[in-house]
A and B are shown apart, each in its own frame.
Chain A
């Protein structure tokens, strides 16, 4: 943990701010769920902040980032406005996706956060597609694709790693090994538990990082992105971490013991990083508290923003099913005259 040198202190403090924001945001999102402000599933990343922030910190602004249904944190780390992320959870018009995606489907094109995806393993081919675009257009953008240990068992994992290697695509595949796919532990779902080796057969080199350590995650991801970008080949990074909360909100967590959770919580990435910064004289107690209060205030404002944002108008229901043109005129391409059927959007 203390092996790697600290980055410049302003960078280190920014990472701490970002991780703190994610922690406070996730806690508050969970709270809002219990108040029925948030519907559906809510997958929190509490415990996984270092993996998110360290990985995102290694990216250039023009690099593509793609993740899973557990990706409020990725959006925040990429710079999406917390109010808009919260508004998406609330299903409001000012949500990142105008209330169409919800918790599992965040997306912020401007920041090249190319989405949260609800289908386990469904995002890997898309990441290779982004990589193909970069390659095709001759740009040196790279792509970072995060997915879970459980997702490494999907067919798309093997298919995509093979293709990315075959086509020399600049993509870093990061398996965030939080030890479980829902309630199934790693040893019970993957024959190969050393996940960084799962790309070996395809010639995809593997690296491992301590996903509870933001510096290690940043350093390893930086190296992986360098290889992808400069050597034009995909890399598989395994980030070892742990989620402190249930898989989604309703999770009795019968599949693990309290002792295990307690043991991992000693490595809480937020606490250990803060402690280290304090020990190295970069972070005073007052500063530490100020960072926390700032995050709480940001989240307060995000909730207020989301609360004030209107619900989407029923008339917007069919918006963006299609890109409209004079040949593709509307929501229901069969006809718009059916009894009681809504006409939907008009060509503007």
Chain B
């Protein structure tokens, strides 16, 4: 094990995969000379050269489209979009093309491409720069969606994403880049898709945290244990497509209660989707409605006082959990 930052783990994954497969190449805005807006690709240009670490103009849709075309013809592009907010300009290439060319051409081609980008609020960047869009990409058949919340998962999932033959939407989190974590030394270390991580075992309630919210859920769980005697099991699905629903249902069968925590908007969110799946397939196990803690149903405000109450913190998770135990008085809306 080595301790490193989330961004360093990503950098290692990229370097190892570039080393392993000459058809892997990187492209994105300011990723070579500048080293990446979040310094994830720092040093790679010196090591692998401009042919494989390619700076692009600010043309999101076309960058992704070039990735799709090159993936259809034998390369394995890893496209960095500066942040997920800008992926909205590339939705045509991501959905109409990356996700669908294999299907619409009857399986004649595949698109082994990774689109990496960070999401998330907390830096006071206002409505256009603070989105969380895992639900948007989860919606699309043909895409795989990874949402790593630890340094080890960042590395292990990225390596899996690069090796997979499907287009993978790889969602990092802006506030996690500097966070340290233990990462296995083994150069063949990967994290499989479709395998949830149980971050904390517990018997009373299942907390499912998406992306950074897996950490928020974990902290809430410690407080629930210390202050309320509630032992929460915390699950980080790590990939939303494929989804390890088995682990979630097994946990709910044990705890009989479930709260889903996500940073994105409530309507059509990941939690809405998961709650539907859990009640469809685990209804008899539930002692209470599935709870959801989400970002508020509004654009992201700039003012710190407003931004901080626009996405979930431990307190909202604790309140939503207590509400499932009949303590509805304490479950005021955040």
Report A's interface with B, CB cutoff 8 A: 64, 95-101, 105, 107-109, 114-115, 117-119, 122, 124-134, 136-137, 155-156, 159-160, 162-163, 166-167, 319-323, 325, 327-329, 331-335, 337-339
Does A163 contact B59, Cβ atoms closer than 8 Å? yes
A124 to B64, alpha carbons, bound, how many Å?
Answer: 11
Contacts of B101 in A (CB 8 A): 115
Given contacts A129-B65, A133-B74, 13 further A-B contacts (CB under 8 A): A125-B61, A136-B25, A136-B70, A136-B75, A156-B65, A162-B57, A162-B59, A167-B54, A322-B144, A323-B112, A327-B160, A333-B194, A335-B245
- Known contacts A105-B105, A333-B144; decide if A125 and B65 are in contact (CB<8 Å): yes
Contacts of A108 in B (CB 8 A): 108
Does B142 contact A321, Cβ atoms closer than 8 Å? yes
Which of B91-99, B203-211, B286-294 is the contact stretch? B91-99
* A119, A163, A167, most chain B CB atoms within 10 A: A163
Contact of B102 among A114, A167, A323 (CB under 8 A): A323
Does A327 contact B277, Cβ atoms closer than 8 Å? no
* B59, B104, B107, B112, most chain A CB atoms within 10 A: B104
Does A335 contact B277, Cβ atoms closer than 8 Å? yes
Contact of A100 among B75, B93, B106, B195 (CB under 8 A): B106
Does B242 contact A333, Cβ atoms closer than 8 Å? yes
* B243 CB to nearest A CB, Å: 5
State which residues 74-116 of B face A: CB under 8 Å.
74-75, 92-93, 96-97, 101-110, 112
Q: Is B118 interfacial (CB 8 A cutoff)?
A: no
Q: Is B271 interfacial (CB 8 A cutoff)?
A: no
A167 to B97, alpha carbons, bound, how many Å?
Answer: 22
Q: Is B179 interfacial (CB 8 A cutoff)?
A: no
Does A328 contact B242, Cβ atoms closer than 8 Å? yes
Contacts of A335 in B (CB 8 A): 243, 245, 277, 281
Q: Is B280 interfacial (CB 8 A cutoff)?
A: yes
Contacts of A64 in B (CB 8 A): 73
Q: How would you classify the secondary structure of chain A's contact residues: helix, strand, loop or mixed?
A: loop
Does B141 contact A321, Cβ atoms closer than 8 Å? yes
A215 to B289, alpha carbons, bound, how many Å?
Answer: 72
- A-B contacts, 20 of them at CB < 8 A, read A107-B105, A109-B105, A114-B72, A115-B105, A122-B97, A125-B61, A125-B63, A128-B62, A128-B66, A129-B70, A129-B72, A130-B69, A136-B25, A136-B70, A155-B62, A163-B62, A321-B102, A322-B166, A328-B194, A337-B281
Contacts of A101 in B (CB 8 A): 104-106
Contact of B165 among A114, A134, A325, A333 (CB under 8 A): A325
A97 to B105, alpha carbons, bound, how many Å?
Answer: 5
- Known contacts A128-B69, A334-B277; decide if A100 and B92 are in contact (CB<8 Å): no
A213 to B192, alpha carbons, bound, how many Å?
Answer: 56
* A132 CB to nearest B CB, Å: 5
Contact of A130 among B73, B165, B193 (CB under 8 A): B73
* A325 CB to nearest B CB, Å: 7
Report B's interface with A, CB cutoff 8 A: 23, 25, 51, 54, 56-57, 59, 61-75, 92-93, 96-97, 101-110, 112, 141-142, 144, 160, 164-166, 192-195, 241-243, 245, 273, 277, 280-281
Select from chain B the residue with minimum beta-carbon distance to A157: B62
A222 to B328, alpha carbons, bound, how many Å?
Answer: 75
A160 to B110, alpha carbons, bound, how many Å?
Answer: 22
* B23, B64, B70, B105, most chain A CB atoms within 10 A: B105
* A344 CB to nearest B CB, Å: 11
Does B66 contact A129, Cβ atoms closer than 8 Å? yes
Contact of A319 among B107, B242, B280 (CB under 8 A): B107
- Known contacts A122-B97, A128-B69, A329-B242; decide if A100 and B61 are in contact (CB<8 Å): no
Contact of A96 among B62, B96, B106, B242 (CB under 8 A): B106
Contacts of A166 in B (CB 8 A): 57
- Known contacts A156-B61, A321-B141; decide if A125 and B96 are in contact (CB<8 Å): no
Contact of B65 among A100, A114, A122, A337 (CB under 8 A): A122
Select from chain B the residue with minimum beta-carbon distance to A64: B73
Does B106 contact A132, Cβ atoms closer than 8 Å? no
* B71 CB to nearest A CB, Å: 7
Does B96 contact A119, Cβ atoms closer than 8 Å? yes
Does A107 contact B106, Cβ atoms closer than 8 Å? yes
A227 to B104, alpha carbons, bound, how many Å?
Answer: 33
Contact of B92 among A96, A119, A128 (CB under 8 A): A119
Contacts of B108 in A (CB 8 A): 97, 107-109
* B218 CB to nearest A CB, Å: 24
Select from chain B the residue with minimum beta-carbon distance to A110: B108
Does B243 contact A327, Cβ atoms closer than 8 Å? no
Does B107 contact A159, Cβ atoms closer than 8 Å? no
A107 to B280, alpha carbons, bound, how many Å?
Answer: 39
Does B109 contact A160, Cβ atoms closer than 8 Å? no
Contacts of A97 in B (CB 8 A): 104-106, 108
* B313 CB to nearest A CB, Å: 28
Does B61 contact A155, Cβ atoms closer than 8 Å? yes
